[in-house]
Structure 1
Amino acid sequence: MEQARRQGKADEIDTSMGKFVVQPAFGQSPRFSRAILVTDGSFECRQTANRILCAKQDTMTIRALKTVSTGRNGLGSFILQCKKLDFHYCDWAGSSKGMNGFIKSQLPKFAAANPQVEFTVSPRPSKHPIIVGHYINGREKAICVRNMEPIEILKKAELLRDANGEKLKRVNKPVNSINPSVRGVWSPYHGNGMAV
């Protein structure tokens, strides 16, 4: 069969799906070949570099994968992890003075600059002001902003907006990978052993 392909001649392949004629593709080297179905019209074949992909058209269906998609930021498009920010304040408490000033002066500009995030403002009488961030992984983060200036509250709101919602973890190793090591993990119980 290889010799027939190298010489540019047609060759027949008999498979369980039917009989195919393999011919060199027009203007290509003989290794790029196309399959032409001889006996039956219910098969579909595609030309590839070294293979002929065939599928029976009447039995092949397209099905969706039964998996949950995971966020892979950077592949395709960026997805902001923060979906909602709640601002809670008190009307008369002294610790909410900075939060009240932030809501009046800086929150409208901050909300206009971030249309992908939902903003809610609600009173919490007799409590300290807080900002709660809701994330697409289902977690929430809350920061108490009592006795802070509006500029400091803006920095905390930006911190919650830019966070990914996961717990803060201490990183002991500088390289973190989900893939196993190529060399494998060394073990004294495997291998040829050492002569002493």
Structure 2
Amino acid sequence: MVAVHNEDSVQSRRGWTKARALLAGGLVLGVGAAVTLAAWTDNEWVRGVFGTGTFGIEGSTDGSAFSDNPTSGDPAQLSFAVGADNLAPGSEVYAGYAVRLSPGSTYQADVTVAQDVSDAIPGTTASYVYTTSTTCDASVFGAGTNANGATFELTSLAAPAFLCFRVVADDTLAQGADGSITWTFSAESGATL
């Protein structure tokens, strides 16, 4: 029996073979193009550099020699007028204190004063006012701005705040007693200087 080839069938197979060859070539070119595209790279780097400001307060009993007294265990000692260690009913004693921003501070401060009278001598009361000087006596206290519980601002390295403290003994004062009153200045940073 003699095989008869259909010319259309042979042509069809040749066309299919060419199509496969073209597809394979296209795949190779596509892979090559993909590899070429993957070789293109670029980088961009950016860095931020940061630093922190500084902040603190310090105090002075004479308005000129300032120091940092950060703990209740070692507070600055107010210099009350003569007689503060020998109170009698009707006695009034005064002491001044200045507060400023620590040198190098880069922020303003909002300062609140808390008064602790838990160890005070029974029969004494304490109060304080804001003043404009390191002097603290009855007349300065009388001209001062009531400050009990108020917050004040420190807005400049060169401008301390001055306070005048007063302790008054009344008729219920016990004889031979000792005590103390503690004032705490709590500062929170504000706007930049």
Q: TM-score, normalised by structure 2?
A: 0.25
Q: Whose Rg is larger?
A: 2
Larger RCO of the pair (alpha carbons < 8 Å, separation 6+): 2
